[in-house]
Amino acid sequence: MEGFEHLGFLLQFGDKGSEVVTLSQAAPFFANSDPDMPAAPAPATQVHDWISQNIASALEHITERISSKENGPANSSDFDVAMTDACTSSIKTSPGARGSCFIEGISKLSFVKQPSDLKGSSSVKVLNCHDSILYILAPLRYATIYGCSDATIVLGAVGKAVRVEHCERVHVITAAKRVCISNCRECVFFLGVNQRPLMVGDNHKLQVAPYNTFYSELEEHMADVGIDATINRWDETLALGVVDPHDSLSHPAGVPDVQAEPVARVDPDQFTNFLIPNWFGAESPGSTKDNPFQLPEAYLASQQRNIKNLGETKKLLREAPLEENQKRELSSALHLLFKDWLYASGNVRQLYCLQGD
């Protein structure tokens, strides 16, 4: 029964509005086990047949609901929809009011999407985007980030799960119920997550940190999809299994099984808030004024030190006994250094985006 329960990472029983039950409670071969006694083992074939039947039944049920929704009046029912039938464009939305949105091939841009831009889609896939900053500020059920590199991707509120796969040097900022990270390298994840982040496959040099941003409608979007801001398990990562020694892309033949690399925490002294420009402030007067997730003490102390240091530096500059020509030289030097940092960090694209709007 203990091994069977591990499948709970992939399968759950229970509908919206009802309590989710464990697999062993739902399955007939463990349901009547004496809690004071070890459960008797069940044959693997019996378990396999039961799971297959339930998956087939669930898929048939979902298909019927999708069909009735497409042929009947629109309503607000909430159910899983397969990510299929996308139309052509860099942003592609599948049919149905609760379909899927594909964002593909964004390169060297700042890219912003809000709920009105997603046409009611409940799922988003971000595919093969590079060297860009993407803001997807909407309530979603599922989000997938696949094959991206050298990008910063901000996801609004994701009520079911976020999956990040085959990405390199990507920063992901998200508030989510669940996060699964697979086969990624040198990525940093700023998380407000209600369940333990899962690490699957061959990951290298990953870092995690507390959630570090907000936008005006964030708390409304979190409430829409059921994310609890009082629970953040960002640093309780769970590695599932060992690295596959037969994966020729990552390991030469004959390398023994090795445990997955541990995930590092971002040093509190390197932690900074991420500012989302308020492009549409007049159109979306939300109530969120600050990060809804409480920062751990070390990160909060570092943030307060940075604010204090900034204030002291501004005061020193204001009170410095400089002649007018010296003040102009100092101002020019600061502007030059800031410009160099903008280009080196890639943040200059955000200024271009703001200037374009």
- Per residue of the chain (357 residues), give pLDDT as tens: 878 877 877 777 665 445 667 777 778 887 666 667 777 888 888 888 888 888 877 777 766 666 665 555 544 334 333 322 332 234 454 433 356 789 999 998 888 888 888 877 789 999 999 999 999 999 999 999 999 999 999 999 999 999 999 999 999 999 999 999 999 999 999 999 999 999 998 999 999 999 999 999 999 999 999 999 999 999 999 988 655 555 544 444 444 455 667 899 999 999 989 988 876 555 556 788 899 999 999 999 998 998 899 899 888 888 888 888 888 888 888 888 988 887 777 666 666 655 554
Other Cβ atoms less than 10 A from the Cβ of 353: the count is 17
On whether the pTM is more than 0.75, the answer is: no
Distance CA 13, CA 16 (A): 10
Cα–Cα distances in angstroms (integers) from residue 147 to residues 56, 105, 108, 129, 182, in the given order: 30, 10, 15, 7, 11
Q: How many angstroms separate the most distant Cα atoms in the chain?
A: 86
Beta strands in the chain (DSSP E): 91-93, 100-104, 110-113, 123-127, 133-146, 152-165, 171-176, 179-182, 188-193, 198-200, 207-210, 238-240, 242-243, 258-259, 264-265
For residue 149, how many C-alpha atoms fall within 13 Å in the half-sphere facing its CB? Answer: 5
Output the pLDDT for position 218: 95
CA distances from 54 to 29, 63, 206 (A): 14, 14, 36
- Find, among 127, 169, 123, 170, the residue nearest to 145 by Cα: 127
